[in-house]
Amino acid sequence: MSFTTVSNILEDNKRKTKLALEEVYSLPAMSRMVIEVSKLLDDPRTNNIVLEKLISKDQGIAAKVLAIANSPLYGLRRKVSTIDFAILVIGFAEMKSIVLALSVMDALQIKSGKHFDHLEFWRHSTIIAAASRRIMEDLGFNKGGEVLLAGLLHDMGIGVIFRFFKKEFELINEEVIVNKMSLKDAQIKHLGLTHQEIGSIICENWNLPENLCDAILYHENPSLSKKDKIVPSIVHLSDYLTQKFNIGSFGWDKDIKFDEDVLELLHFSSMSELDEFTINYKSLFQQELENIKII
């Protein structure tokens, strides 16, 4: 098969995937939920009481909010057992980001299936979000809400592929497991797009924050970001550490190649300095995984 033929097939797959994605982000129930939550969170009249009522209306979201609030990586010294206390100790701005992210995940209505464990997906997303916030704080950056949002939603494209592209999802897994193809190459072969690109497309079409869409798109190669490189760099580092420390069993994040430009972006002089900085994170990651398992 010639290079031109292969290129045409890939372009055709990309076109078909983009057309299918138009149906995803136009589904009324999904887009309405995300839009309503976004509007409420952007309304200056929304206060702690309104936010507490919004969270408490959905027991699933409320439970996940408390799980994040009690994360060992989050570093709160007291157990958080109520939503109003969670808002108080986490802060209104960061809580808004958490609620928006959980609303997006809820709207996609992703369930478990062959080669996809929804609970493992949730655990991975939560660990990345909590770790990203902790790393941000330890490095002295002030981007709490942004890194939480990006951490929770960085892999939303994987969930979209599983739910709306079942056949391609299975083919991608077969390529990776049987043919030892890289995840990126397998996605491009069968979809014409990566999960990062798919997540970013959904993000943009639901009018979610531009910096979030950028972080989703570049969380595996943050040095290519056209906007704020810090948020995708922190998420990328957290993602890389889950692989390095062998945390969790979410298979779609097992071939991450560390973007070494992140060293300079996050003000590390060398890889050895980064290793020294992250050495104590392994136990926190393990505690976080156990914390999520018992919820």
Distance of CA 256 to the CA centre of its chain: 14
Give tens-digit pLDDT for 121-144: 988 998 899 899 999 999 999 998
Q: Are 164 and 145 in contact (CB under 8 A)?
A: no
Which residue has 């190649």 as its token pair?
257
Total residues belonging to the chain: 295
Phi-psi region of 115 (alpha: psi -120 to 50; beta: other; left: phi over 0): left
What is the model's pLDDT at position 33? 65
The count of other CB atoms within 10 Å of the CB of residue 209 is: 16
Residue 3: per-residue pLDDT: 46
State how far the Cα of 76 lies from the Cα of 133, in Å rounded to an integer.
12
29 alpha-carbon distance from chain centroid = 22
What is the pTM (predicted TM-score) of this model? 0.89
CA angle 99, 147, 80 (to 5 degrees): 50
**139-161, pLDDT tens digit by residue?**
999 998 899 999 999 999 999 99
Q: pLDDT at position 32, please?
A: 67
Distance between CA atoms of residues 47 and 84, nearest Å = 11
Asked if 150 and 172 count as a contact pair (C-beta separation under 8 A), the reply is: no
Distance from C-alpha of 115 to C-alpha of 158, rounded to nearest angstrom: 12
pLDDT by residue, tens only, the chain of 295 residues? 544 555 666 788 888 888 878 777 665 555 566 777 778 888 888 898 988 988 888 888 888 899 888 888 777 778 889 999 999 888 888 888 998 898 888 878 888 888 888 888 988 998 899 899 999 999 999 998 899 999 999 999 999 999 999 999 999 999 999 999 999 999 999 999 999 999 999 898 888 889 999 999 999 999 999 889 999 999 999 999 998 988 877 777 777 899 999 999 999 999 999 999 999 888 888 888 777 665 5
Say which CATH class 3-293 falls into: mainly alpha
Whole-number Å distance between alpha carbons of 97 and 41: 9
Q: How many helices (H) and strands (E) does the chain have?
A: 17, 0
With tokens 């799980």, the residue in question is 67
For the chain, give every domain's residue range.
Answer: 3-293
